[in-house]
Chains A and B, each alone.
Chain A
């Protein structure tokens, strides 16, 4: 009876068919499918791409549009890294698109981010026959690349600080501060002296004014007014000097010097005026006409 017999040929053919179908399915869902829906691009960079691995995603506006296919070092130039990526054909890669390296959360894994940025153009690799997407260093890459320099600079600064704070220099700084303190104390004394001078000057002006008023002359009043103005200016200078003295440091010291020069000039002016008042009072007198003297009416 034929019913109880197994046809081994048919079974063998069936198994073979199943194997072929399986292989085809796997192929279609992997390589074949990829080639059909994705297009290969090349990204070239000289920056570090630490954290980027084959199979990592390629994103455009936060949407995954592809993946990293292969990462290799350019055998001709050891500084250059070549990244081959597969990007969905639906995304039109055009001029103005640029790739950057992004970090995925706290995992430390990197991905490729495609964004639009003016000033970038696509290239073409004749050997690989692939379109090149330009890559610009991300903020992270910039920081990573500049970090060694920053650390070196910081080290240099620390060394200098150490040099400055050496026992020899510390002693010198102490001496300098001591001298500055002494200078400030002297300056304070000078301010007090100058204030005394102003007070005396004011007294003198008051006395002079009283005398002048009795003479009823005009010219002396003008001179004394000038005298008073000078005294006021001097007072203003001194108050500025006081503030500077209180907050004196290396920035304010040059200003303090110029102020002292002004003070000297003003004091000189005041001294000249006082000298003129005391030595040549007549030259300032402008006497008003009065009624005829009795002698003038006598014949």
Chain B
């Protein structure tokens, strides 16, 4: 009976030792450039696909879609994008000018193997009556997660740059 009692204690303690809380790293997207728009633009709406609009970071592989377990965004993805947009175009955070609406459809790495793949970004932007779909694909070959986030930063940088030129064209 005593042996059985000790067995239960050891079994219960083993549960505590085996269960470790995973260490989570938070990320932000740092913006490289600031753009000055030649016309007044007002950010009226920014929408993000539901599956993206979370603090969790999404990735794809041949099996399907997943969330990274140990890395996440510092705030929800729509908040990350909004912050990036305001940092790049400080003037859009105002109450007058042409209405700018952005709908982010996808922004996630697609892994072809453990380290290689491509970051896919898709967004629909509407400026008054002009609509454009932006689609960017960046190949990556990274060694760790920080490098992957850096590549994602670059992808977003390119979108912001393309967006700037498009807005200027349609101002």
Binding site for B on A (CB under 8 A): 214-216, 219, 280, 282-299
- Given A292-B70, A296-B69: A283 touches B145 (CB 8 Å cut-off): no
17 A-B pairs in the complex with CB atoms less than 8 angstroms apart: A219-B50, A282-B49, A284-B50, A285-B65, A287-B56, A287-B65, A289-B66, A289-B69, A292-B68, A292-B70, A293-B66, A293-B69, A295-B115, A295-B142, A295-B145, A296-B69, A297-B70
Query: Which listed residue, A215, A296, A297, touches B64 by the CB 8 Å rule?
Result: A215
Nearest A residue to B64 via CB reads: A215
A289 partner residues in chain B, CB cutoff 8 A = 56, 66-67, 69
A175 to B114, CA, bound (A): 77
A215 and B50 form a contact (CB under 8 A): no
Nearest A residue to B59 via CB reads: A293
Nearest B residue to A285 via CB reads: B51
Q: How far is the CB of B42 from chain A (nearest CB, A)?
A: 25
A14 to B95, CA, bound (A): 148
Binding site for A on B (CB under 8 A): 22, 49-52, 56, 58-59, 64-71, 105-106, 111, 114-115, 142-145, 148
A280 to B50, CA, bound (A): 10
A283 to B104, CA, bound (A): 11
B64 and A282 form a contact (CB under 8 A): no
A195 to B70, CA, bound (A): 50
B144 and A290 form a contact (CB under 8 A): no
Nearest B residue to A295 via CB reads: B145
Q: How far is the CB of B151 from chain A (nearest CB, A)?
A: 12
A290 partner residues in chain B, CB cutoff 8 A = 66-67, 69
B64 and A283 form a contact (CB under 8 A): no
Nearest B residue to A290 via CB reads: B66
Query: Which listed residue, B52, B69, B105, B143, touches A298 by the CB 8 Å rule?
Result: B143
Q: How far is the CB of B140 from chain A (nearest CB, A)?
A: 10
Q: Knowing that A282-B49, A286-B50 are A-B contacts, what are 5 other residue pairs whose CB atoms are under 8 Å apart, sorted by A's residue number?
A: A280-B49, A286-B51, A295-B111, A298-B144, A299-B144
B69 and A282 form a contact (CB under 8 A): no
A286 partner residues in chain B, CB cutoff 8 A = 50-51
A284 partner residues in chain B, CB cutoff 8 A = 50
B111 partner residues in chain A, CB cutoff 8 A = 293, 295
A292 and B22 form a contact (CB under 8 A): yes
Nearest B residue to A280 via CB reads: B49
A284 to B22, CA, bound (A): 28
Nearest B residue to A216 via CB reads: B64
A282 to B58, CA, bound (A): 12
Most buried by A among B51, B58, B68, B105: B51
B68 and A296 form a contact (CB under 8 A): yes
B70 partner residues in chain A, CB cutoff 8 A = 292, 296-297
Query: Which listed residue, A214, A215, A219, A283, touches B49 by the CB 8 Å rule?
Result: A283
A287 to B49, CA, bound (A): 13
Nearest B residue to A283 via CB reads: B50
A292 partner residues in chain B, CB cutoff 8 A = 22, 68-70
A299 to B50, CA, bound (A): 31
Q: How far is the CB of A165 from chain B (nearest CB, A)?
A: 65
A295 and B67 form a contact (CB under 8 A): no
A285 to B56, CA, bound (A): 13
Q: How far is the CB of B15 from chain A (nearest CB, A)?
A: 19
Q: How far is the CB of A208 from chain B (nearest CB, A)?
A: 15
- Given A293-B59, A294-B114, A295-B145: A287 touches B69 (CB 8 Å cut-off): no
A291 and B69 form a contact (CB under 8 A): yes
Query: Which listed residue, A216, A287, A299, touches B58 by the CB 8 Å rule?
Result: A287
B64 partner residues in chain A, CB cutoff 8 A = 214-216
Q: How far is the CB of B20 from chain A (nearest CB, A)?
A: 12
A297 to B56, CA, bound (A): 17
B66 partner residues in chain A, CB cutoff 8 A = 287-290, 293
B143 partner residues in chain A, CB cutoff 8 A = 298
B59 partner residues in chain A, CB cutoff 8 A = 293
Q: Which 9 pairs show the lowest CB-CB distances between chains A and B?
A: A282-B49, A292-B69, A290-B66, A285-B51, A283-B50, A296-B70, A294-B114, A298-B144, A287-B65
